[in-house]
Structure 1
Amino acid sequence: MRVLLVFLLCCRLMLSSDSKIATLEETLRYMSKLFSLGQPLSREQGQLFRWTNCSAISTAALKVNNGSVTPDPVPLPGNITASVGVTLTETLKSPLKAEVTLKKKLPVLGYTSIPCIDNVGSCTYDDLCALIPDSTGECGPPFSTYKLPCHCPFPAGSYYLPPIEIQLPSAGSIPSFLTNGDYYGQASLFDAAGHPVGCYEAYLSLKEE
């Protein structure tokens, strides 16, 4: 995945060379082993990107105000433009637990869960803060440019990341039936006491160029 907190964590991880999270190609290779259907999806992909609040409580500390990703479908390789704005009503500190569900839409089967393999897929992360490399260093662009936090703790406040361009790599030798398709993701965040911080889900379509 469009939540600013999760988006910033992802950006932070993508910009680091020693990230603990697998690369896009490694992730898709795992999926290739799991979902070897042997043929590409037949239907024509359309615009799919959307996100919704799935929190069960109205007092969740994380509130998404807006978010966008273009073009839609997302090209691989290619450039995308993304923006997001959120409000944190309280400071988010370590440990920040995340329960992530990731699914891919498959012929006949519909949206099918991707198991957690090497911290990729439908995983539970005991502390997202611990996954951020150099979590005590200074924040570089675009975080410093827009005065956004890039590591824990995330102070309470309103944050907005205006549209920025992100370059996505090629999927390499990964079969097109894995790089082309529709995905669903859900992320639920919890504080140290186990209280819900926020829950958001999103749909995204990928298209190999």
Structure 2
Amino acid sequence: MRSIIIPLAFALSILVCHIQAQDFTKLQWSDCGSPSAVISNIDLTPMPVYNPGPASITIKIELKKPVKTVGVNINIIRTVSGITLPVRCYIVNGANVGSCNYTDLCTFLKSIWDDFKPETCSPVLLDYGIDCTCPFNISPILLDLNNLPLDLPDASQSAASFMASGNFDIKVAVFEGAPLASPSYGCARVQLTVKQKK
């Protein structure tokens, strides 16, 4: 009996690693509790995402309450070569990177997105009252951003080098103020694959 169990366990572990290592060909998402928003769609193309390189994001979310100072709690799980590990919170040059609490989403976006400034703010964002200045001042509205172009930087050359490649399971919880200490605004979980452009 033992001679059968050992090879069976080995074969099962190889199968589990193979399943976990499969790349996503479409962004997977789910709503994990959004009392102040209705999430209808989240998409990121191409999938897998190649970095550095162009991509586009589609978001359809109805905001039921005004948005000003927003705190975010992010949890990232990364799978590479069948090995799944949580990404911890790093502090790089005084800023949080990874699975962290971010006390101000607007300031965080400014730090990672070069075009998130009034001079180069996307006209698409301006149409929704987002002028790339902080704090946010967004009224209740239906955000319907369709194929908003993004120019993804080379993650391997940044503080977020862990995002350069792998399969990711990311949970983003949004709060009205300090993360985890204030009322929840919304929550989304996304799963995606990132590959390093050669």
Q: Same fold (TM over 0.5)?
A: yes
Indicate whether 1:126 and 2:126 are aligned: no
Structure with a larger share of its residues in helix: 2
Give the C-alpha shift of residue 130 in structure 1.
Answer: 4.4
Contact 2:173–2:186 (CA<8 Å) still a contact in 1? yes
Matches of 2:125 and 2:82 in 1, distance apart?
Answer: 46
Amino acid at match of 1:196: S
Superposition TM-score, scaled by structure 2 size: 0.67
Give the C-alpha shift of residue 100 in structure 1.
Answer: 0.9
Contact 1:97–1:191 (CA<8 Å) still a contact in 2? yes
Give the C-alpha shift of residue 148 in structure 1.
Answer: 4.0
The structure that has the greater radius of gyration is 2
Amino acid at match of 2:25: Q
Structure with a larger share of its residues in strand: 2
How many residues align? The count is: 162
Give the C-alpha shift of residue 84 in structure 1.
Answer: 1.1
Q: Cα RMSD between the aligned structures?
A: 3.3
Aligned twin of 1:30:
none
- Residue number among 163, 183, 188 corresponding to 1:195 in the alignment: 183
- SS of 1:120's partner is strand
Aligned twin of 1:97:
71
Amino acid at match of 1:73: P
Q: Which runs of 5+ in 2 are unaligned?
A: 1-20, 111-115
Correspondence 1:50-199 to 2 at 5 A = 50-55=28-33, 60-94=35-69, 96-107=70-81, 109-110=83-84, 112-118=85-91, 119-131=96-108, 133=110, 140-143=121-124, 146-149=127-130, 150=132, 151=134, 152-171=136-155, 179-192=164-177, 194-199=182-187
Q: Which runs of 5+ in 1 are unaligned?
A: 1-42
Give the C-alpha shift of residue 140 in structure 1.
Answer: 2.7
Taking only the aligned residue pairs, the percentage that are identical comes to 23
Contact 1:81–1:166 (CA<8 Å) still a contact in 2? yes
Amino acid at match of 1:188: A
Structure 1 pair 123–144 and aligned structure 2 pair: CA distance change class (3 A):
closer
Matches of 1:171 and 1:121 in 2, distance apart?
Answer: 12
- SS of 2:89's partner is coil
Amino acid at match of 1:113: P
Give the C-alpha shift of residue 178 in structure 1.
Answer: 6.7
Matches of 1:63 and 1:77 in 2, distance apart?
Answer: 31
Contact 2:155–2:163 (CA<8 Å) still a contact in 1? no
Matches of 1:51 and 1:159 in 2, distance apart?
Answer: 17
Give the C-alpha shift of residue 180 in structure 1.
Answer: 2.9
Structure 1 pair 142–168 and aligned structure 2 pair: CA distance change class (3 A):
same
Aligned twin of 2:113:
none
Structure 1 pair 66–155 and aligned structure 2 pair: CA distance change class (3 A):
same
Contact 2:169–2:192 (CA<8 Å) still a contact in 1? yes
Amino acid at match of 2:167: D
Give the C-alpha shift of residue 91 in structure 1.
Answer: 0.6
